[in-house]
């Protein structure tokens, strides 16, 4: 699955610093002035998965291939962006192409780094960003609604569904709430996605804190967490500056540095896990002497759907999947031990894949 998460925020809140740390590059110029990011930078990031290393060690795999997620560093937003202020609508299309949005809020005080609004108020930052996205959604829907109404009155069933969903989205938007708070029935999910609403995308609020607050956060990040709960979003505390320093260290140096800060792992690992959780994703594995590989699938995916992530022919010709739970694979030291102990299962088309399953697919060509 090709997954993309937009990193969005006001200028100088740490977006590009966070992006640089995520991608372990300096591709995004992290400069102390508005709009230092003009074109969206994209970075393909490996999803941290310690289980994959364990499986590869047991199977003697020559290559380890993790799942990947793409982050897009969007130009800093300002008031009036939906009407063309700053970089205007240039960034909106970039966000629409993504699966989720990570809103970065500045939760640190540093007089050497200017704030475009000349104050430190993460909730106000989030409100400015969300307001601009809501205004863009309102304008988009109100332009479409007249034409859709005409088609709906003419008996077009697709238009009737679209009109119902437009009105469902307009209700919270006109009340100053993002479209994601609307309750959508499963049968409407595809049509809802087709509306391409910026505020319907799953949201992750990233509280960018100072080094001293990296482990437990601070009063400002607590406000962000509270706001996320109110807005049907997830939240995570991270210090972009620390992450940028960690990113250039080797594994041993990383461990030592994290210990001095009282952290068990890089904050980026938590951010990526939260993004997975936000999008309702999980991981299964294929393991052998040639390679050990992690695959990303939605929670609730069936055996054939999981096979289809590897190749569409696998889904079409799916017969069954030889399946071992991760804990059994590890405890019994691999496929042979699991098979001998009766822990390898033959799962048919109705099987709902579990997170951590080790799978081998049998299919017709």
Known binding-site positions: 12-17
154 three-state secondary structure:
coil
Residues in a beta bridge with 283: 296
List of E strands, 267-343 = 281-287, 291-298, 318-324
Inter-residue contact 72 to 252 (CB < 8 Å)? no
Of 319, 238, 303, which is closest to residue 274 (Cα–Cα)?
238
* Residues 6 or more apart whose Cβ sits within 8 Å of residue 289: 59, 60, 61, 62
Binding positions for ATP: 12-17
254 three-state secondary structure:
helix
* Cα 30 versus chain centre, distance: 22
Inter-residue contact 19 to 43 (CB < 8 Å)? yes
User: CA-to-CA distance for 162 and 351, rounded, in angstroms?
Assistant: 33
DSSP annotation of 82: G
Tokens of 254: 């990383």
Residues in a beta bridge with 65: 293
Handedness of CA 265, 267, 273, 274 (dihedral sign): positive
């Amino acid at each position: 699955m090709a997954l993309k998460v937009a990193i969005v925020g006001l200028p100088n809140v740490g977006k590009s610093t966070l992006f640089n740390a995520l991608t372990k590059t300096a591709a995004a110029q992290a400069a102390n002035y508005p709009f230092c990011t003009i074109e969206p930078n994209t970075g393909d990031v490996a999803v941290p998965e310690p289980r994959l290393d364990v499986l590869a060690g047991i199977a003697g795999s020559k290559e380890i291939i993790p799942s990947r997620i793409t982050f897009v560093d969007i130009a800093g937003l300002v008031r009036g962006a939906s009407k063309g202020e700053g970089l205007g609508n240039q960034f909106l299309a970039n966000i629409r192409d993504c699966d989720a949005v990570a809103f970065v809020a500045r939760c640190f005080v540093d007089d050497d780094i200017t704030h475009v609004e000349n104050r430190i108020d993460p909730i106000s930052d989030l409100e400015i960003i969300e307001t601009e996205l809501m205004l863009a959604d309102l304008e988009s829907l109100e332009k479409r609604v007249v034409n859709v109404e005409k088609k709906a009155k003419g008996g077009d069933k697709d238009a009737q569904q679209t009109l119902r969903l437009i009105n469902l989205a307009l209700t919270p938007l006109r009340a100053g709430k993002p479209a994601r708070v609307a309750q959508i029935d499963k049968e409407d999910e595809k049509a809802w996605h087709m509306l391409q609403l910026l505020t319907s995308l799953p949201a992750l609020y990233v509280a960018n804190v100072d080094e001293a607050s990296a482990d437990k956060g601070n009063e400002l990040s607590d406000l962000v967490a509270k706001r996320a709960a109110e807005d049907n979003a997830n939240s995570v505390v991270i210090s972009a500056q620390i992450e940028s320093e960690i990113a250039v260290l080797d594994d041993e140096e990383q461990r030592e540095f994290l210990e001095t800060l009282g952290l068990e792992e890089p904050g980026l690992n938590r951010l990526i896990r939260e993004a997975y959780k936000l999008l309702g994703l999980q991981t299964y594995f294929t393991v052998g002497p040639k390679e050990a590989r992690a695959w990303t699938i939605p929670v609730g995916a069936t055996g054939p759907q999981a096979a289809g992530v590897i190749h569409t022919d696998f889904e079409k010709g799916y017969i069954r999947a030889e399946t071992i739970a991760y804990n059994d694979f590890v405890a019994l030291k691999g496929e042979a031990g699991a098979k001998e102990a009766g822990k390898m299962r033959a799962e048919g088309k109705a099987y709902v894949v579990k997170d951590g399953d080790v799978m081998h697919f049998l299919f017709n060509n």
